[in-house]
Structure 1
Amino acid sequence: MSEFIFVLIGAALVNHLVLSLPALAGTPPGARLRFIGPATALLILLAAPLSWLLQRQLQAFDLGYLHLMLVLPLLATLAWGIQVLILRWQRPEQPLDGLLPLLLGNGAGLGALLAGTSAESFPIALTLGLGGGLGFWLILQLLNDLFERVEQCDVPTPFRGAPLQLICTGLMGMAFLGLNGLGAA
């Protein structure tokens, strides 16, 4: 049982790659972030165990090299389905244009390809998906809070916009880098 707790904590706080994604620096705040967080968390939660299952099936037939080629259409379908599902639950007046590529890019490579293929069993893949999704959502919320605080500050003109967002993202990455080794024996 403790292995699952370490996997969950490790996936949520230590082994995430969210902060190294270049698309994250331009993540829009507000209503779009409230969509991206839960949608990506759900995508990672579903994609990691499905990727694990697909890889095991392909390895049974000695076709493991086809994993990437087959998992990408699966992830695109999952991302599209999650977007449609959440759009039905959200208010229609919220601007959600162009979120499918962002959702697919942020969640798919992260949750399915990394966590799903490195897991030893299906429950561990599911736990990695859950922890990775929750960690992604946590980091997006923390970055959104940081960006909101920075907007209230008096920032020199050359640093406004993307440069300051990159600096904030780098500082957040360094803060989470301090959690490396958490749960290590």
Structure 2
Amino acid sequence: MSELLSALIGAVLVNHLLLGLPAAADMPRHARMQALGPAGALLILFAAPLAWLLHRLLPADLGYLSLMLLLPLLAGLSWLSLLLLARLRPSLVQPAGLWPLLLINGASLSAMLISQALESFDLALAVGLAAGLGFWLLLQLFADLLERVGQCDVPMPFRGTPMLLICAGLLSLASLGLNGLGPI
């Protein structure tokens, strides 16, 4: 039980590559964030257990091919998560260019790679759920931070991309303070 709890805490709070992505600078705009958060959470929720199953189904001598199989699986799952999100929440506006953002999502690939090392399917499913919710939480925090900064009087050289990088650095430092809580 303690292993499950530490895996959940680590997946929600610590193991996210969202803040280190160069494409993350464009993500937190309100319309994109409203669709990208749930779509990313669904993608990670599906990706982690499927990666665990794929790892268990591959013969031991073909383990080096797992990454080559995970990438097409990730492409199909990102399309499926957008389709499922459109069916579950038809009122949610899905802006153009959301599918490529899901494809380059480092959090989903890292959740897939982390889940391959886990012992049981239940644990992989729990990590997928927790990592998806953590991704959504980080996106929301990043968007809120950028909204607050947008209301401030920022000097001209720091407007735009420099402020995005500063905000991403601050969130990275905040999540780095939680490092060590998870098992991974």
What's the TM-score, normalizing by structure 1? 0.90
Alignment of 1:19-30 (within 5 A): 19-30=19-30
Alignment of 1:148-159 (within 5 A): 148-159=147-158
Alignment of 1:1-185 (within 5 A): 1-59=1-59, 62-88=61-87, 89-91=89-91, 94=93, 96-106=95-105, 107-112=107-112, 114-182=113-181
How far apart, in 1, do the equivalents of 2:109 and 2:181 lie? 23
Deviations 1:16-47 (A, max 9, x none): 22221221122142121011001101100110
Q: How many residues align?
A: 181
Q: Report the AA paired with residue 76 of structure 1.
A: A
Structure 2 counterpart SS, 1:63: helix
Provide closer, same or farther for how the CA distance between residues 86 and 95 of structure 1 changes in structure 2, counting only shifts above 3 A: closer
How far apart, in 2, do the equivalents of 1:37 and 1:13 lie? 15
Deviation at 1:54, TM superposition (A): 0.3
How far apart, in 2, do the equivalents of 1:183 and 1:132 lie? 12
Residue segments in structure 2 that go unaligned for 5+ positions in a row = none
Provide closer, same or farther for how the CA distance between residues 44 and 95 of structure 1 changes in structure 2, counting only shifts above 3 A: closer
Deviations 1:50-73 (A, max 9, x none): 00110111135x321221111211
2:10 and 2:182 in contact (8 A); partners too? yes
- Extract structure 1 runs of 4+ deviating beyond 6 A: none
How far apart, in 2, do the equivalents of 1:183 and 1:99 lie? 30
Structure 2 counterpart SS, 1:80: helix
How well do the aligned residues superpose, as a CA RMSD in angstroms? 1.7
Deviation at 1:130, TM superposition (A): 1.2
Deviation at 1:168, TM superposition (A): 0.3
Provide closer, same or farther for how the CA distance between residues 95 and 12 of structure 1 changes in structure 2, counting only shifts above 3 A: closer
Q: Report the AA paired with residue 53 of structure 1.
A: L
How far apart, in 2, do the equivalents of 1:183 and 1:79 lie? 26
How far apart, in 2, do the equivalents of 1:118 and 1:21 lie? 24
Structure 1 counterpart SS, 2:9: helix
How far apart, in 2, do the equivalents of 1:69 and 1:183 lie? 27
Q: Report the AA paired with residue 109 of structure 1.
A: L
Q: Report the AA paired with residue 101 of structure 1.
A: P
What's the TM-score, normalizing by structure 2? 0.91
How far apart, in 2, do the equivalents of 1:17 and 1:76 lie? 18
Q: Percent identity at matched positions? A: 59
Q: Report the AA paired with residue 82 of structure 2.
A: Q
